[in-house]
Amino acid sequence: MSAEESSAQVLTPAGLEQLLTVLRQRGYRTLGPTIREGVIAYDEIACVQDLPCGWTDEQSGGHYRLRHRDDRALFGYAVGPHSWKQFLHPPRQRLWSARRDGETLQVRCEPPGEHRLALIGVRACELRAIAIQDRVLLGTAPGDPHYRARRTDTFIVAVNCTLAGSTCFCASMHSGPQVTGGFDLALTELTTTASSAFVLQAGTSTGRAVLEQVPHRAASAAETAAARALIEHTAEHMGRQLPSDDLPQLLLRSLEHPRWSEVADRCLACGNCTMVCPTCFCSTVEDSSDLIGQETTRTRRWDSCFTVDFAHLHGGSVRQSTRSRYRQWMTHKLATWHQQFGSSGCVGCGRCITWCPVGIDITEEVTAIRASEPT
Amino acid sequence: MHAPKPRLAVWKFASCDGCQLSLLDCEPQLLTLGEALEIAYFPEAATVPMRGHYDLSLIEGSISTPRDAERIVAVRRRSTRLVTLGACATAGGIQALRNFADSGEFIAAVYAHPAYIRTLATSTAIAEHVPVDFELRGCPVNKRQLLEVISAFLAGRRPAIATHSVCIECKSLGRACLLVAHGTACLGPVTQAGCGAICPAFQRGCYGCYGPHESPNTLALSRALATLGLDRAHLLRLYRSFNANAEAFRTESARHAR
Ligand code: SF4
Ligand code: SF4
Ligand code: SF4
């Protein structure tokens, strides 16, 4: 038995309720999965009742539906359309504004503000994605002050996946389904038809301090074994596979592969894949001045490598074709990201597959390129 | 010492006046607008005859009569910058549905004395008749975008108007995709952003009011919509609305016409 497992605890739904209360008392904004617009979205959650109790999802390329489970599981689904980046690296962020004052200019940088975010129900792939965005946005000095402000005091309650969605492939990307670090508390939900219990581990001293304020008990050997078995079962039942060890080499020697044109015939260049991807971080800035030229504001907003403007250099966009834009997206995620940030840019969450309106599947595209590689 | 204010004109061609109303709807900013510009010609707000040269002409409406085809040339000659507003001026508008039919039949059916009607067989975008400096999309245009274009003109900078898909706007607002999560037909993936994804926010698929985006793949979207159960008649109606005559929508609708 490992040290972690020997220290495993058990939390009941009432304990989870208390955990949310304690986090809110400590000044955290508690964010987590909840049903909204017919999907499991991430939003403010005040109590356990706000969680998607007894719900699961059905996912495939370009398809998502909520379904009832026959139990009262609180985390019995895979990831939905949202990712935590919408809170940590929000879609719009004002950066600075300037005001003309006679002959002088007053420049006001947007203060990053104070944020205490508690993220409830973060999956292994999402923890990996957050770690990637940390590297991208904070890894090189000076880093992004707005992201830093949101990450400085993030409390993370992770959840081990006890079910793999049919577009999930985290096991291939070595990023799940078991959480391995980067959390304050981690839960594994053991569900019976009547209720749930959570096998729980603390990952940080803050996590342990919070746990002190929440009723819990030591886990039995049977409970830890059940939790471990559930995670193993999830790992063995991934919806998709993507053998990933040679991807950079494979893709970078296939830049002229005919498959890129074939996928471009299907791709809408709509950008949905990059919007839902938890690691995509690209943004652009917009300047706007008022009518009388007194005030101007610079705003950062999410951008996508699928827009024409994204690759606008002097004289025009260097990626006019959807072929070149799709190739940029996929080779960046799976190949050049390694050189740039020291890991894959894909954590195997499957969102880009489910939320692509035409169901383009990154694993299928790689498989097609691999299968027809000129030998 | 004050430099003379730039002179603004707002022109109406074949249209419903909705875009001009978007301008009038900018109430809190209208006073500032009056400070920044001389509103020299704006029949919707006040009747003043056309006179002199205009620094900025905003054009609402499409060209659908021989008289308007001449008038737009005169307007262009009097304007330093010419910006078209809305689906009518940028694509021909809903009235461009005539382009797909025999306009003579419509005239005979609608007017008691068809002989008095002098109209063109087609309704077309302003840019098909004269050079246009900027095209602002929408049916009607979004007032925030309209103020942005005017502000950009006054500052001599490029307007911050995105030409990408509605989806990017929809997702940036945290909306769940209707197409994927509910099987609702949505033109968002081929339509230009700008409206703030209003329809998806109210669980309605995008109607394509802002016309095709910068690189629309309508064929691929139609294939996806067909698998959701849309038949050819439905697809035809989807593309033949306010921006029926915008090239990508026109070509796509032709594929579904009988
Ligand atoms: S590329 Fe797709 S599967 Fe990989 S992390 Fe991004 S959204 Fe998830
Ligand atoms: S791959 Fe899919 S989601 Fe991504 S841009 Fe193309 S059509 Fe849109
Ligand atoms: S609802 Fe429509 S606009 Fe929004 S993401 Fe889906 S397809 Fe795009």
The range of the structural domain enclosing residue B238 comes to 166-255
Minimal Cβ distance to A271: which of B154, B164, B174: B164
| B144/B99 same-domain check | yes
d(CA A168, CA A161): 11
* The pLDDT of residue A191: 87
Each residue's pLDDT tens digit, A331-361: 999 999 999 999 999 999 999 999 999 999 9
Q: Of the ligands numbered here, which is closest to the C-alpha atom of A271?
A: 2
Residue A272 CA, ligand 2 centroid: distance in Å: 6
Ligand 1: residue whose CA is nearest its atom 7 = A277
Whether B118 shows a pLDDT value over 60: the answer reads yes
Each residue's pLDDT tens digit, A180-195: 999 999 999 998 767 7
- Which of B155, A154, B18, A359 is CA-nearest to residue B147? B155
* B173 at A interface, C-beta within 8 A: yes
* The pLDDT of residue B43: 78
Letter for the amino acid at A47? C
Name all residues whose Cβ lies below 6 A of ligand 1: A 276-279, 333, 346-352, 362
Residue-wise DSSP of B129-147: TS--SEEE--SS--HHHHH
Are A218 and A209 spatial neighbours (Cβ–Cβ below 8 Å)?
no
| B89/B182 same-domain check | no
- Please give, rounded to a whole number of angstroms, the shortest distance from the CA of B7 to a CA of chain A: 14
- Cis-peptide, bond into residue A142, ω within 30° of zero: yes
| B145/B175 same-domain check | no
Residues of chain B with pLDDT > 70, as a percent, come to 97
| B72/B173 same-domain check | no
The total number of residues shown for chain B amounts to: 258
ipTM of the complex: 0.95
* B223 at A interface, C-beta within 8 A: yes
Each residue's pLDDT tens digit, B119-173: 999 999 999 999 999 999 999 999 999 999 999 999 999 999 999 999 999 999 9
B160 in any annotated domain: no
Are A173 and A125 spatial neighbours (Cβ–Cβ below 8 Å)?
yes
Distances from the Cα of B247 to the Cαs of A135, B61, B90, B239, in angstroms?
44, 18, 11, 11
Ligand 1: residue whose CA is nearest its atom 2 = A352
Whether A2 shows a pLDDT value over 60: the answer reads no
Interface of B with A in 90-149 (CB under 8 A): 147-148
The larger pLDDT score, comparing residue B116 to residue A87, is at A87
Coil/strand/helix, residue A218: strand
Strands A92-101 and A104-109: antiparallel
Q: Which residues of B156-191 are buried (b: 16+ CB within 10 A; e: fewer)?
A: eeebbbbbbbbbbbbbbebbbbbbbbbbbbbbbbbb
Structure tokens at B131: 């050079």
What pTM was computed for the model? 0.95
Give the number of the atom of ligand 2 that is nearest the alpha carbon of residue A269: 5
B1 in any annotated domain: no
| B63/B191 same-domain check | no
* The pLDDT of residue A4: 47
Ligand 1: residue whose CA is nearest its atom 1 = A346
Residue-wise DSSP of B65-108: SHHHHHHHHHHHHTEEEEEEEHHHHHH--GGGGGGGS-HHHHHH
Is the minimum distance from the CB of A269 to ligand 2 under 6 angstroms?
yes
- Which of A175, A176, A138, A130 is CA-nearest to residue A154? A130
d(CA A167, CA A364): 11
Q: Which residues of chain A are within 8 Å of residue B164 when distances are taken between CB atoms? A: 271, 304, 306-309
d(CA A125, CA A347): 5
Are B243 and B97 spatial neighbours (Cβ–Cβ below 8 Å)?
no
For residue A6, the Cα-to-chain-centroid distance in whole angstroms is 30
Q: Which residues of chain A are within 8 Å of residue B35 when distances are taken between CB atoms? A: 291-292
d(CA A264, CA A19): 48
- Which of A83, A107, A344 is CA-nearest to residue B174? A83
| B40/B122 same-domain check | yes
Question: Among B164, B166, B217, B225, which is best to mutate for testing ligand 3, by the most ligand atoms less than 8 A from CB?
Answer: B166
Q: Of the ligands numbered here, which is closest to the C-alpha atom of A343?
A: 1
d(CA B250, CA B216): 12
| B138/B179 same-domain check | no
Contacts by B217-220, CB closer than 8 A, 24 or more apart: B217/A265, B217/A266, B217/A267, B217/A268, B217/A269, B217/A322, B217/B189, B217/B190, B218/B190, B218/B248, B218/B249, B218/B251, B218/B252, B219/A265, B219/B252, B219/B255, B220/A265, B220/A266, B220/A267, B220/A268, B220/A358
* The pLDDT of residue B2: 64
Q: Which residue has the tokens 């008392």?
A: A25
Each residue's pLDDT tens digit, B206-233: 999 999 999 999 999 999 999 999 999 9
Q: How far apart are the first and last CA of chain B?
A: 66
Residues of chain B with pLDDT > 90, as a percent, come to 78
Strands B79-85 and B7-12: unpaired
Are B24 and B54 spatial neighbours (Cβ–Cβ below 8 Å)?
no
Q: What mean pLDDT, rounded, does chain B reach?
A: 93
**CATH number, domain at B20?**
3.40.50.700
| B92/B201 same-domain check | no
Residue of chain A with shortest Cα separation from B189:
A270
Is the minimum distance from the CB of A306 to ligand 2 under 6 angstroms?
yes
Q: What are phi and psi of A262, to 5 degrees?
A: -65, -45
Q: Which residues of chain A are within 8 Å of residue B151 when distances are taken between CB atoms? A: 288-291
Of B155, B179, B211, the last residue of a domain is B155
Give the number of the atom of ligand 1 that is nearest the alpha carbon of residue A277: 7
Q: Of the ligands numbered here, which is closest to the C-alpha atom of A351?
A: 1
- Please give, rounded to a whole number of angstroms, the shortest distance from the CA of B217 to a CA of chain A: 5
d(CA B211, CA A272): 19
Residue B20 CB neighbour total at 10 angstroms:
24
Per domain, the residue ranges of chain A are 3-236, 247-371
Q: Lowest-confidence range among A23-32, A283-292, B88-97, B210-219?
A: A283-292
Each residue's pLDDT tens digit, A19-61: 999 999 999 999 999 999 999 999 999 999 999 999 999 999 9
Instruction: Name residues whose C-beta falls within 8 Å of residue B212's C-beta, 6 or more positions apart in sequence.
Output: B190, B191, B192, B218, B243, B246, B247, B248, B249
Q: How far apart are the first and last CA of chain A?
A: 48
| B208/B93 same-domain check | no
Residue A294 CB neighbour total at 10 angstroms:
12
Number of domains in chain B: 2
Interface size between A and B, measured as CB pairs under 8 A: 139
Is the minimum distance from the CB of A270 to ligand 2 under 6 angstroms?
yes
Angle at the Cα of B184 (from B182 to B185), degrees rounded to 5? 155
The total number of residues shown for chain A amounts to: 375
| B35/B105 same-domain check | yes
Q: Find the mean pLDDT for residues A153-175.
A: 96
* The pLDDT of residue A372: 87
* The pLDDT of residue B47: 67
